[in-house]
Structure 1
């Protein structure tokens, strides 16, 4: 099983961080590996929304569809793959620190199937590296907007 948890402190309010991060249209801007995000349902993010992503990971093109399974605006967003190379669940959480900073966590959990099972330790390491880069990028974007 892959279970990767990363977090970062962003010098911006929880509301602004959550609003930006939860919008799939912004995903290609701050996710290093995501090349595009296309809504398959109406654009109001809610439980049941589906978004198709195209990404590149470890030199391979990946196409997958996430469905929002839990969404509490400003607190938590959980999405699971309904179509893709292997089942994955991604969770974002946002916690306010003193009203001026936000702790954002990004967690990916999944169970690779078939041939990819052999690469779980390597995949976990590569996902952790990618997630750290993603969180640094969203921090840069949001703190630059503030300046």
Structure 2
């Protein structure tokens, strides 16, 4: 079973502000469903966060603890952050994109992946759950940036 789920939301904040917050791994646990910790475990070749950097996350999904590492494949602020898993229970590709929109930003998150074992058995339920989580992530992102928490 593979999933390919996208969620998007118009956020009444400029793209530079949305991207600066959302692309900063130090904020992951504040607005991303299930993430308890995120740590920069490998810097980009030029130092800091950018293409080639790796972030290790601990999350809970469907009651299970998941530890995984995402490598930054593309980092083009304020437009794009693209990450692929290099360690974890299943292959995963996460893309955050931010486009100017009337009155603010169109924020989009896309998650693609293939599930093995338990996740393969979950079938369509898994895709629905991921979609629900992404929708909530974007609502929480907007609430944090607009002060409407």
TM range (shorter): over 0.9
Q: 1:60 corresponds to which residue?
A: 64
1:59-95 per-residue CA deviation (whole Å, 9 max, x = no partner) reads: 0000000000111111111001100010000000000
Structure 1 unaligned runs (5+)?
A: none
Query: Is 1:116 matched with 2:119?
Result: yes
Distance in 2 (CA, whole Å) between partners of 1:66 and 1:115 is 21
**Partner deviation per Cα, 1:4-39 (whole Å, 9 max, x = no partner):** 100011110000000100001000000121000011
Whether 1:76 aligns to 2:80 is yes
Normalised TM-score (structure 2): 0.92
Q: 1:96 aligns with which of 91, 94, 100?
A: 100
Q: How does 1:39-58 map to 2 (within 5 A)?
A: 39-42=40-43, 44-58=48-62
Q: CA deviation at 1:144?
A: 1.1
Corresponding residue number in structure 2 for 1:27: 28
**Structure 2: distance between partners of 1:73 and 1:116:** 32
Counterpart Cα distance in 1 of 2:83 and 2:56: 12
The whole-number CA distance in structure 1 between the counterparts of 2:38 and 2:52 is 16
- CA deviations 1:102-137 (Å, max 9, x no partner) are 000000001112342121311101000111111100
State the alpha-carbon separation in 1 of the partners of residues 123 and 3 from structure 2: 6
More displaced, 43-52 or 64-73? Answer: 43-52
Corresponding residue pairs, total: 144
Q: Please report the TM-score for the alignment, with normalisation by the length of structure 1.
A: 0.93
Secondary structure, aligned partner of 2:147: helix
Q: For residues 41 and 95 of structure 1, what CA distance do their matches in structure 2 show?
A: 28
User: Is 2:138 aligned against 1:135?
Assistant: yes
